[in-house]
Structure 1
Amino acid sequence: MPAPIEDDWSDSDEEIGTGGVETDVLLGVPDGSVETESDVKDAAVSRIGGLPALLPSPEPPFSSSQCKVCSNPMELLVQVWCPFEDSPMDRALYIWGCARTACQRQAGSVRAWRGLRYNATYASKLEKKKARKQAQEKARSPPPVPAPAASPFSMQGSPAPMAFGLGDAIFGQPASDPPIQSASEEEGDDHSDAESDASSSSEHSLITAMASATVSASFWEAAPSYPALYLSTMSEYIPQPPKSKIPANARIEDPAEDDSKAGKDVSWAFEAYENSLEVDNVFDRFTKRVSHTGEQCIRYELKGTPLPFASDKVFEALFPAPPQDPLPVTKAEFKVVPAVKRSYSTASIPTCPSCKSNRVFECQLMPNLINVLRDSVQDKEADVRKLTDEQRIKAVQDALKRSREPGSRGMEWGTCMVFSCENDCCLSEEGKDLKEAWREEYVLVQWDD
């Protein structure tokens, strides 16, 4: 029997150990309706549904939101404010989805774009922060020691120290003590650093809000949309697994162990049984992982690993099984083949068309987003508490009738994964640097069977 393939392609709850763990994944959850006009126009306000607050100016072509199957404009599913760390570029991610039943399971019915815009004010802050950091590193470096006179061909001299203490950082040696500063100098530097770090994110958001492009007097204003909801983030936390309830004096017997003691090969007995189970282990892992925070609508982990929904073609492409040596035929050549493991790979993801760099996983939409969008529409169309019994029955009948029509609507995906340029390039077709960019990214969809 061939060696089993261990699907260790994702963080397993079984590997948590005795305590819970906080992962690197940020979870996006709904957080009430967006009501203020300023938040609607602020690109730094992440949202579920609503109209997009577009960064590039002039605004990008309206065709960006059109479904590639039916050519109709799609609703915005989410907008995520996600600038890269230490980048002078304002950055937001926009994901649209088509809800027409005929477009489901078709490529191009979910599209993702990233908007970039150079932020001169924030870029100036970054330059000052960089200069201050370099000055601090220079102050910590020891003064250069003049080398003794020697023959220019001598090999006995010591190598020159690396700039900024790079050698110390690589080899783990402690840095030299910095020169002593006066109390006023220390307080001034600490206050400047604290003030800069504490206000950088909020000021960045404020600058974006003041300069973000609007969608007034354009096709975007008349685009179809879901009610806008705030999208708040929280860290993913996987709690401690429950303890086993097996009594301390219980005896666990393994029939395979007993049969092997009798000299029998029982691998065939378990192979037929296991293969007969119609269980998708990938989906089981997905369900178990998501159940810890069921209200999540998006998972965000730049350069992380996506959480696959099911063992389909998308899963096989992202988590390919390594090739295995053919098994020996005769008993004389019998050997134990170790179990092989799947590993995550982006080899099947096309590179960025602008800079030819690799694309990396950035985020994925979760099934609960469909429920949230559907519920928000129902709440907007009618307040159920104010309907009479007769009106409520008619509303249900109308909904069932619409679901049977050819143009009925309803999204059917299990998860939508977005892969973005790892360099977050902002280039023209000729390869020149730009102040603004609007680039489509790669989306992989796993459909709900």
Structure 2
Amino acid sequence: MSRADDWSDSDSEYEYSDAEGQRGDAGALVQLGVPDGAVADAADLRDAAVSRVGGHPAFLTSPPPVADAHCKNCSQPMELLVQVWCPLEDSEHDRALYIWGCAQRACQRKEGSVRAYRGLRYNEKYAAKLARRREKQRREEEERAHAAEEEERKKAAAKVNPFSMKTSAASDPFDLGAQIFGGPAQEPEVPDETASDATSPPPSDPEDSASDSDEDGDASDSEELETSLAADTLESSEWASAPAYAPLYLSTAAEYLPPAPKPKLPAGAEVVEEGDEPGKKKDGGWVLEGYENSLEVDHAFERFAQRVAHEGAQCLRYDLGGTPLPFASDAIFDKLFPVPQGLPPPVTKAAFAVSRAPRRTYTPDALPHCVHCGGPRVFECQLMPNLINVLARPGAERTAEAERKKETDEERRAAVMRALKGEGEGEGTGMEWGTCMVFTCKGDCAGERGTWREEVVLVQWDD
């Protein structure tokens, strides 16, 4: 995952108009993590910039205490589920996300059996590049503001009273007598020898040249930075003896959702959504994330299954600052999508009151704030049920592309439903969650040189 990737998502009642992918509130595509074959290169195993499923972690700084990856219930070391390389475009830090999970059946459905950490490392070279870019951007903004002021001044100067004396704007209004009766001759203007010729280009700014060269070399520099992030060796630490699944590459692809067929309406009919004014388009806010209450159908699970079925191989959904995709209507769902206060007025008499079920919207206010900086947390990613199946197949060499080619749509849907119900190959691992949602510090708070922060994980278990 490169720095340029900034992911978000919006679940607009499954009415998707973007044929190339699903775009979120920030206009970015939702990224799906899919397994892409076994990691055989030892250099990749040590490189923190290589996202992976399973394996041992590759740290950005010195290895943290092994106890950080122990289950809070059985106190035993947990296996690494995924490691995601996810630096931010405007950050001076290299960044990776680590998620561990306990496979002990006795620890399932207990808090602390899935833990996530955010690792940061200060990147001096990238920080210097960012500083030059920001300085260049500041100068360009100042130049645009100055040009706008100059244009306004010229427009104001052109609006001269036609009945006034056409004198210089700098002339003294009380010096009219000198102009009529003659006064001392005006001294000729002396050209400024320091001023450059108007026809010659201004001298080049070395900082601009450096910045331009940075822009031209972004791709190569970024690749060089990522490939040079070889982690500290784990051979001499306790991490080398920690249990681990077979490592697999984790590739990313933009989520594609085919547009839903539009309903056939009579000519001249207009569809008005609840709460919208006639003729007014939706604003793209959280209100698009609506979930209706029902005693008979779990709408959250239905939406989850329908959404995931479009790409059954996904193990991870990455949507920094976006909206999580709830697995079921449980306590976690109620926390993130609370029931709105007050009910709509009934549509008939009180004795036969029938009202529309209230719609729920995503509200991150209930999430605990960062214990280090006190800032709010935002949704970053979530683990998907297929990850359990993938981890139960050590040494699997089929790539995600090969799996997609060999499986039909119906077969992929059936595999998704088996994973959602806890059936199939995933039973051997003992993990029973439906999805694990990770929420990280919105400000991405960091220390001076390196950061190791535990973040919040909310788990919806498979019932």
Q: TM-score scaled to structure 2, two decimals?
A: 0.67
* Cα distance, 1:119–1:409 mapped onto 2, change above 3 Å: same
Distance in 2, matches of 1:121 and 1:188, equals 17
User: Which residue of 169, 182, 192 corresponds with 2:213?
Assistant: 192
1:29 has 2:34 as partner:
yes
1:222 has 2:244 as partner:
no
Distance in 1, matches of 2:14 and 2:450, equals 45
1:68 has 2:72 as partner:
yes
* Cα distance, 1:200–1:42 mapped onto 2, change above 3 Å: same
Q: CA deviation at 1:241?
A: 3.0
1:142 has 2:146 as partner:
yes
Partner residue in 1 for 2:119: 115
Q: Deviation per CA, 1:341-392, whole angstroms, max 9, x where unpaired?
A: 211111221100000000100000000000000012688xxxxxxxxxxxxx
Aligned residues: 351
Q: Deviation per CA, 1:157-189, whole angstroms, max 9, x where unpaired?
A: xxxxxxxxxxxxxxxxxxxxxx99969979978
* Cα distance, 1:327–1:56 mapped onto 2, change above 3 Å: same
- Structure 2, unpaired ranges of 5+: 1-8, 24-28, 157-168, 171-197, 267-291, 398-427
Percent of paired sites with the same residue: 54
Partner residue in 2 for 1:313: 331
Partner residue in 2 for 1:288: 306
1:117–1:436 Cα contact (<8 Å) kept = yes
Q: CA deviation at 1:279?
A: 2.6
What one-letter code is carried by the residue in structure 2 that aligns with 1:220? W
Distance in 2, matches of 1:31 and 1:371, equals 14
User: Which residue of 430, 438, 441 corresponds with 2:455?
Assistant: 441
1:360–1:422 Cα contact (<8 Å) kept = yes
Q: CA deviation at 1:130?
A: 2.0
Partner residue in 1 for 2:379: 361
What one-letter code is carried by the residue in structure 1 that aligns with 2:41? T
2:380–2:440 Cα contact (<8 Å) kept = yes
- Partner of 1:71, secondary structure, is coil
Query: RMSD over aligned Cα, in angstroms?
Result: 3.8
1:131-170 equivalences under 5 Å are 131-142=135-146
Q: CA deviation at 1:440?
A: 0.3
Q: CA deviation at 1:277?
A: 7.2
1:88–1:119 Cα contact (<8 Å) kept = yes
* Cα distance, 1:313–1:181 mapped onto 2, change above 3 Å: farther
1:426–1:436 Cα contact (<8 Å) kept = yes
1:13–1:289 Cα contact (<8 Å) kept = no
Q: CA deviation at 1:83?
A: 1.1
1:28–1:233 Cα contact (<8 Å) kept = yes
Q: Deviation per CA, 1:106-164, whole angstroms, max 9, x where unpaired?
A: 10000000111111121112122222333333444435669999xxxxxxxxxxxxxxx
2:37–2:396 Cα contact (<8 Å) kept = no
* Cα distance, 1:190–1:233 mapped onto 2, change above 3 Å: same
Distance in 2, matches of 1:128 and 1:190, equals 6
1:260-279 equivalences under 5 Å are 278-279=296-297
* Cα distance, 1:102–1:192 mapped onto 2, change above 3 Å: same
Distance in 2, matches of 1:279 and 1:20, equals 31
Distance in 2, matches of 1:292 and 1:315, equals 22
What one-letter code is carried by the residue in structure 2 that aligns with 1:129? R
- Partner of 1:117, secondary structure, is strand
Partner residue in 2 for 1:351: 369
1:341 has 2:345 as partner:
no
2:15–2:260 Cα contact (<8 Å) kept = no
1:10–1:307 Cα contact (<8 Å) kept = no
1:81 has 2:85 as partner:
yes
1:65–1:74 Cα contact (<8 Å) kept = yes
Larger Rg belongs to: 2
1:40 has 2:61 as partner:
no
Distance in 2, matches of 1:286 and 1:349, equals 21
Q: CA deviation at 1:204?
A: 2.6
Distance in 1, matches of 2:305 and 2:346, equals 38
Distance in 1, matches of 2:200 and 2:310, equals 50
Partner residue in 1 for 2:185: none
1:112–1:440 Cα contact (<8 Å) kept = yes
Partner residue in 1 for 2:129: 125
Distance in 2, matches of 1:353 and 1:18, equals 39
2:322–2:380 Cα contact (<8 Å) kept = yes
* Cα distance, 1:87–1:216 mapped onto 2, change above 3 Å: same
1:81-100 equivalences under 5 Å are 81-100=85-104
* Cα distance, 1:106–1:447 mapped onto 2, change above 3 Å: same
Distance in 2, matches of 1:181 and 1:232, equals 52
Distance in 2, matches of 1:76 and 1:134, equals 43
1:101 has 2:122 as partner:
no
1:34–1:40 Cα contact (<8 Å) kept = yes
1:20–1:240 Cα contact (<8 Å) kept = no
Partner residue in 2 for 1:5: none
What one-letter code is carried by the residue in structure 1 that aligns with 2:94? D
- Partner of 1:238, secondary structure, is coil
Distance in 2, matches of 1:275 and 1:435, equals 48
Distance in 2, matches of 1:275 and 1:129, equals 49
- Partner of 2:22, secondary structure, is strand
2:434–2:460 Cα contact (<8 Å) kept = yes
1:362-381 equivalences under 5 Å are 362-376=380-394
Q: CA deviation at 1:17?
A: 4.9
1:54–1:215 Cα contact (<8 Å) kept = no
Distance in 2, matches of 1:236 and 1:299, equals 9
Task: Decide which moves more: 192-201 or 212-221.
Answer: 192-201
* Cα distance, 1:278–1:378 mapped onto 2, change above 3 Å: farther
User: Which residue of 414, 418, 434 corresponds with 2:434?
Assistant: 414
- Partner of 1:240, secondary structure, is coil
1:239-258 equivalences under 5 Å are 239-241=258-260
